[in-house]
Structure 1
Amino acid sequence: MHHSFTRRRAAALGIATAAAIALAGCTTAASPDSSTEASAPETPAATAEAGPRLTLTYDGGIAVLDAETLEQVADLPIEGFNRLNTAGDGQHVYVTTVGGFQVLDTGADGSEPALTDTVFEATTPGHVVRHEGRTVLFDDGTGNFVAFDTDALLGAEGLPELEAYESEAAHHGVAVELADGTILSTLGDSESRSGVRVLDDHGHETARFEECPSVHGEGVAADEAVLFGCEDGVLTYVDGSFVKIGSPDEFGRVGNAYVTDESPIAVVDYKDDPDAEGSLLHSLAFVDTASVEDGAQLDVLALPDGVEYTWRGVGRDDAGDAWLLGTDGALHHIDVETQEIVASFPVIEAWEGPAEWQEAHPALVIDGGSAIVTEPASNSVHRVDLATGEVTATGELPGTPNELALAR
């Protein structure tokens, strides 16, 4: 049956604030209560000025820094491998940990940073997607996902009002809600992933596309042109219709999209060797979503010799251009219109790719006119002026940085 979808308020699923205590019995992650108790920063919260916060995971904890000065504001202990996603409300970060998506209050308003007791319960928490004031959290372990207002955590206690959905089967998936309430969610099971379905604002399936093998990731470009990566190209959803754009190579896997709301050009990672080991990639690709109906192509840019990257090393700036953190230690400025590297700034020492994607390696996030770059080899993080390449601030960390998220 195609319509195995159900939609209901979270209360019907038994998702409530009390579900947050699910973490308390886990041995691979600190419980919310113990984390919060032990999370007081070395500098009293009263002396911390309000402002944007940068959060970084390391083995055993999460460091919270002033995003401008990169001075440490708090050090929050938490065990296990934990991922970070910006909540999009300027205050919170989602910690993808054992038990679900735990809410971290960064203290961007000048309050004391803390791992809160609020947890969106999930057996295998996965993708976090924000778009047009709505957030969707996907549980890979069940295929279930929930949608809610992005700013609903501000000034609230516990979980916000949720709308809950089910997939046909559990899989490593993703979903996004568009401005009119339409939801696109991936199709797959524990063995394979095949495509994307469309749900209207009442939860009824209206369309599906099932020829996107290994579908992964999503991105929403200008005019709500949606992209999903496939093993052999890109699947787009534009003006209510699916269009598949094939890769120029026999094997051309796209896994992640880097987009902005203003630019019709999507930048995607690109892998042309199915037998390549490790996480390093040597090509980027571009899709002009404004020309999908006119036969858009997947244009591939091969990077210079000695320059490779991982999915953590690409970002877009306010002008829509792309920035890539290469294994040569440089930030490379890419004009997405001409698809050329127009400038390169050395920032950190050259580095080698991780054997497994979970291992700590340099990462990048763009913050206005600056880039924030981690350097695991020196347990540090740098803020770089994108106009000049100058390192304007450096922060020392209590451990080797892995994931990072910005709350602004």
Structure 2
Amino acid sequence: MHIASPRRRAAALGLATAAAIALVGCTSAAAPGESAAPTTTGAAAEPGQRLAIAYDGGLAVLDAVTLEQLADIPLPGFNRLNTAGDGEHAFVTTEGGFQVLATGADGSAPELTGTTFPATTPGHVVRHEGRTVLFDDGTGDFWAFDTDALLGAEGLPETTEFTSEAAHHGVAVELADGTMLSTLGDSESRSGVRVLDPQGEETARFEECPAVHGEGVAADEAVLFGCEDGVLTYVDGAFAKLESPDEFGRVGNAYVTDESAIAVVDYKDDPDAEGSLLHRVGFVDTAAADLDGAQLDVVDLPEGVEYTWRGVGRDAEGAAWLLGTDGALHRIDVETQAITASYPVIEAWEGPAEWQEAHPALVVDGDQAIVTEPAANAVHRIDLATGEVLATGTIEGTPNELALVG
């Protein structure tokens, strides 16, 4: 059996090979530790929050409060976005790896830098307790590093590298004490999660979580992973499995906060359903006395309200917000599992045929929210206390994925 062993190194020496650093878009190739010339139509602005938006063929960077566009950066292809967590950068999942976008939250001009974490098939980005983990689905390799390491750095930071037993669409998360949880699987299937100690030695595994996907860390470092028949938890050093109430009940994503013990999860009960729309939501109380063998709480949404994984978030008080196909934002009390408020914010919409297609997305920012409206190439900032639209902006492309930075 192949056990992952981490090795710390300067990324400029080990991660960056000439073949792997393939900088894409309109940047020119740069040596490890150097930045290629950025392509941007924007300029420096007052420091503050930034909103990065991926559209087909590029990236737009907006002032996250006024929604004024500050930069437009050409970048071919379908690109995904993740907040880096350091208040300045975002990761662009693109050809060649995880490319670093400087958003200009510090007052500088936004730019797609020449710094790329090489990956054959870049996948999940996970931030927790000051550490970031990047997962390469094409190899099963993943890298952990300090979340703030990109600030003021030239090139790639020092990382700890891990390997999986086989390449798969996976995810890993590092806990505060250095324990690493990473998924198990191969190109054909995924089965569970293993535990690695800070030295990279395996200490435990759980292999009864078919189609394991996604992760979330709730209060007191209770970790959740989705399965196609429930939710796998790792609490106080032990695995426990909650079963779905249906024969097929797939969970793919968890929506959590550091303060709430209750996790909200998406839920699919029909394996033959086409498209990405969902009509039920799940809840996991990670502080419950006995999780193992318990049944996952699942509730139905009102008639005519469906959602996708891009349309759920948690606010500053732990409430869940869901962007429905009816065009409304719905507040869900996670204790009672009931909808307590609904605000119409955009026109009603239909679900995408393929998950990559642009469709409305939600990012919750404290007591406000940012919602995209692809049909109008628009993005809105919403007051969650009243449903009032505080600002609206538009971009040239159709907004797809979002990253809120700063």
Q: Same fold (TM over 0.5)?
A: yes
CA shift, 1:9, in A, is: 2.2
Matches within 5 A, 1:105-184: 105-184=102-181
Distance in 1 between residues matched to 2:154 and 2:382, nearest whole Å: 36
Q: Which amino acid aligns with 2:252?
A: G
Count of aligned positions:
401
CA shift, 1:369, in A, is: 1.1
Q: 2:184 aligns with which of 183, 187, 190?
A: 187
CA root-mean-square deviation: 1.8
Render the CA deviation track for 1:62-107: whole Å, top value 9, x for unaligned.
0000000000011111111000000001100000000000000000
Structure 1 or 2: more helix by fraction: 1
| 1:195–1:211 CA contact under 8 A, matched in 2 | yes
Q: 1:21 to 1:141 in 2, by over 3 A?
A: closer
SS in 2 for 1:142: coil
2:264 aligns with: 267
| 1:314–1:324 CA contact under 8 A, matched in 2 | yes
Distance in 1 between residues matched to 2:15 and 2:298, nearest whole Å: 46
| 2:52–2:404 CA contact under 8 A, matched in 1 | yes
Matches within 5 A, 1:298-317: 298-317=296-315
SS in 2 for 1:293: coil
Q: TM-score, normalised by structure 1?
A: 0.95
2:92 aligns with: 95
Render the CA deviation track for 1:250-270: whole Å, top value 9, x for unaligned.
110000000000000000000
Distance in 1 between residues matched to 2:384 and 2:19, nearest whole Å: 40
SS in 1 for 2:148: coil
CA shift, 1:406, in A, is: 0.4
CA shift, 1:293, in A, is: 2.7
Unpaired segments of 5 or more residues in structure 2? none
| 1:332–1:341 CA contact under 8 A, matched in 2 | yes
CA shift, 1:36, in A, is: 6.1
2:367 maps to 1:369: yes
| 2:215–2:253 CA contact under 8 A, matched in 1 | yes
Matches within 5 A, 1:30-69: 30-31=26-27, 37=37, 39-42=39-42, 44-45=43-44, 48-69=45-66
2:8 aligns with: 9
Q: TM-score, normalised by structure 2?
A: 0.95
Distance in 2 between residues matched to 1:335 and 1:163, nearest whole Å: 39
Unpaired segments of 5 or more residues in structure 1? none
Q: Which amino acid aligns with 2:367?
A: G
Give percent identity, aligned residues only. Answer: 76
1:243 aligns with: 240
CA shift, 1:109, in A, is: 0.6
CA shift, 1:59, in A, is: 1.3
CA shift, 1:37, in A, is: 4.2
2:405 maps to 1:404: no
1:276 aligns with: 273
Q: Which amino acid aligns with 1:15?
A: G
Render the CA deviation track for 1:184-215: whole Å, top value 9, x for unaligned.
00000000000000000110000000000000
Render the CA deviation track for 1:124-146: whole Å, top value 9, x for unaligned.
00000000000000000000000
Distance in 1 between residues matched to 2:18 and 2:336, nearest whole Å: 50
Distance in 2 between residues matched to 1:11 and 1:272, nearest whole Å: 46
Distance in 2 between residues matched to 1:13 and 1:238, nearest whole Å: 36
SS in 2 for 1:22: coil
Q: 1:359 aligns with which of 332, 357, 360?
A: 357
